[in-house]
Amino acid sequence: MEGKQFPFYLLLLFSWLIVNQVASDIPTTKKGCDPQCGNVSIPFPFGIKQGCFLDEWFEIVCQNDNSSNTIPKPILNRTKLEVIEISVEGTLQVRNPITFLNCSDKQIHQSANLEGSPFKYSQNNKFAAVGCGAIALMNSGEASIGGCSSICNNTAYGNSCNGINCCQTTIPSNLKSFNTIFLNLPGEGSGNQCKFAFMADQRWLESGSTNISAIQDMVDVPVELNWELYHYSTYDIFGTFVETNSSGSSEYNCSTNIATSEYGCYANSSCDVYIVNANQQRLQCTCGSSWAFEGNPYLLQGCKGKIS
């Protein structure tokens, strides 16, 4: 006979509603802006409509390929990279092309060129190359800035990337662009065998869910980028994105504090300014100085105390 138990899924539903209620009080976007594209959250400074993003680099086009069984894809309009996830803590995950050489009909696609953009390749990525006796180099202009080589063993194709048929290495800091070139490792394998190289988020690469040989059938892999707000003067930084409330209010007035060289974002958030060079600075904000606050520090009233 049916018991009188309260269905577990309803409990789950109620707790989800409560959590969601709290979360929805904290804005992630400017007023009137879509908080999501498909299942990806789009927090400010990223945004979809005019007035929703900080500048064109952060403009997202929510691309709907019009077939009912697919969810819309968020594309960074300027770089044309598809976004997988955005964090207000200064990172985003995008799909980055794999560079193939001599792999059936696959074309050579290089990693996205991020020069001049507020994005760079995060050091949480690894550069990996797959091939039997391959040297893959990351080149910047004429110079090699990284790379790795793998020895050949046709009987040992596996899931690990440890120098046999597959190699991986760390990436340099502040990396914004590179070209992948391949060389043959003398005495190893045949020069015309399929080789490919890619940069990928280390967590994805090491998650174990990724079969190295299966990557050959993909076109792109998740890569982590850092995003930064950088401008040509402190005034420009704050003047550009701080929504000043002209009636005064208790909000931190960043521009006032330039004189005292004590910088700040909005209430309940803290802010760091890094000097990039003589006429360029970088701004990074965080909600609160502890775990007590959450939200989006780049929005007016974006940081709220956590309810425990």
Ligand X SMILES: *[C@@H]1O[C@H](CO)[C@@H](O)[C@H](O)[C@H]1NC(C)=O
Nearer to ligand X, 16 or 170 (CB): 16
Q: Using CA atoms, how far apart are residues 299 and 32, in angstroms rounded to an integer?
A: 13
Q: Using CA atoms, how far apart are residues 122 and 129, in angstroms rounded to an integer?
A: 18
Nearer to ligand X, 171 or 295 (CB): 295
Nearer to ligand X, 159 or 170 (CB): 159
Nearer to ligand X, 64 or 170 (CB): 64
Binding site for ligand X (CB under 6 A): 39-40, 59, 61, 66, 77, 85, 101-102, 153, 155-156, 159, 192, 211, 213-214, 244-249, 253, 255-256, 267-268, 301, 303-305
Cβ 281 to ligand X, closest distance in Å? Answer: 18
Nearest to 269 by CA among 229, 302, 308: 302
Q: Using CA atoms, how far apart are residues 231 and 54, in angstroms rounded to an integer?
A: 12
Output the six-digit token pair for 22.
């709290």
Q: Using CA atoms, how far apart are residues 298 and 294, in angstroms rounded to an integer?
A: 12
The total of other beta-carbon atoms located within 10 Å of residue 143's CB is: 8
- Report the residue number whose CB is nearest to ligand X: 305
Cβ 276 to ligand X, closest distance in Å? Answer: 23
Cβ 259 to ligand X, closest distance in Å? Answer: 8
Cβ 9 to ligand X, closest distance in Å? Answer: 20
Q: Where are the beta strands (DSSP E) in 90-130?
A: 91-97, 99-101, 119-121, 125-130
Nearer to ligand X, 42 or 101 (CB): 101
